[in-house]
Amino acid sequence: MSEQVNERMSEQVTYRAFTGDDIAAAHALTVELKWPHRADDWRFVLQAGTGFVAEAADGVIGTALCWTYGLERASLGMVIVSQAWQGRGIGKKLMELVLERLGERVTFLHATPAGQPLYEKLGFRAAGTLDQHQGAAFQPPLVSLPAGERLRPLGSNDTPRLIELASRASGLDRGEVLPALLENADGIALDRDGELLGFALFRRFGRGFAIGPVVAPDAPDSSRAKALISHWLSLNEGVFVRIDTPGDSGLTQWLDGLGLPRVDTVVKMVLNGPKSAGPDLAAPFPPADPDVRQFGIINQAMM
């Protein structure tokens, strides 16, 4: 073991609450690991959540954040440890601090292959997958909507209905997260005779822009969700766009075909959820709403 590693192993690591002053250091960690997040992306997730940092003499070396949705559910993410400090249990300690804060809430995360073994040791169980699509050379098709339905801009009076639909589709209380998201996003609504049926948001993220959440009633061939997504793609041809879709959304082949290839798949995991799907899998959770679905998520941390 080198002298430098020996010195680092003996150096003290402390843990404390994440503050706004830590954003620059946290952003540097994501740059180191080649994550796409900008400093502004960190500001948004911190605005809606809370968390912890691990700190050594040379500054912040690890982070973990969490978000609560009402009194019963939560998610966590942005679990990062600097490469030079990995393998010392820092990620596990950060996770334990976050989970202690969340208590008995049903808690979700999306796991990379590197992180999944740690999450399994902490009691998380697989409960689905998530496909990441991105690209800039897409050719959005014209998608027909059912008779009487149309797309229209979102209005300020739509917010209560957006919160209701987003909460039903995700199974998570979106009462706090969605208003914060609307401050940073543009939106398009799916409307039928004045009734808002679904929506899709579009915002700056990482290398370009992100579409999500995408919420709509199901339809043959997922035509409603496709129309909402195609709206944003048709307005932004040649712009780098990312969308993260649940593995059972039915959109993967369609997105691949129009120029947004799948570049990654991660595992959705849950702690304190139902355990009726077998010894290695959690039951699909939250249970699906039969009338409205989430075809694209906010981001991998906030679901």
Those residues with Cβ within 8 angstroms of residue 225's Cβ, 6 or more apart along the chain or in another chain: 198, 214, 216, 219, 249, 251, 293, 295, 296
Partnered with residue 265 across adjacent β-strands are 131
Extract the tokens encoding 36.
């796409």
CA angle at 103 for the pair 98 and 108, rounded to the nearest 5°: 65
Position 136 scores a pLDDT of 94
CB-based contact 189:268 (threshold 8 Å)? no
Q: Which domains does the chain have, with CATH numbers?
A: 3-104 (3.40.630.30), 133-296 (3.40.630.30)
The identity of residue 56, as a single letter, is: A
- Each residue's pLDDT tens digit, 216-243: 999 889 999 999 999 999 999 999 999 9
Could you identify the residue written with the tokens 């959109």? 251
Please give the average per-residue pLDDT across 63-70, as a whole number: 97
- Each residue's pLDDT tens digit, 273-290: 877 656 666 666 666 688
The number of helices, as runs of H, and strands, as runs of E, in the chain is 9, 13
Position 274 scores a pLDDT of 78
Position 273 scores a pLDDT of 86
Report the candidate in 58, 283, 292 with the shortest Cα–Cα distance to residue 165: 292
**φ, ψ dihedrals at 273, nearest 5°:** -100, 180
Higher pLDDT, 87 or 9: 87
When pLDDT is cut at 50, 70 and 90, the band that residue 264 belongs to is: very high
Position 114 scores a pLDDT of 86
CB-based contact 200:185 (threshold 8 Å)? no
List b or e across 203-242, with b for residues whose CB sees 16 or more CB atoms inside 10 angstroms. bebbeebbbbbbbbbbbeebbbbbbbbbbbbeebeeebbb
Cα separation, 245 vs 129, whole angstroms:
9
Cα separation, 172 vs 268, whole angstroms:
15
Position 4 scores a pLDDT of 53
Q: Is the pLDDT of residue 138 over 90?
A: no
Residue 69: its H or E element: strand 59-69
**φ, ψ dihedrals at 133, nearest 5°:** -115, 140
Strand-pair category, 241-246 with 208-216: parallel
Cα 283 to its chain centre, rounded Å, is: 20
Q: Is the pLDDT of residue 7 over 60?
A: no
Extract the tokens encoding 97.
């601090």
When pLDDT is cut at 50, 70 and 90, the band that residue 1 belongs to is: very low
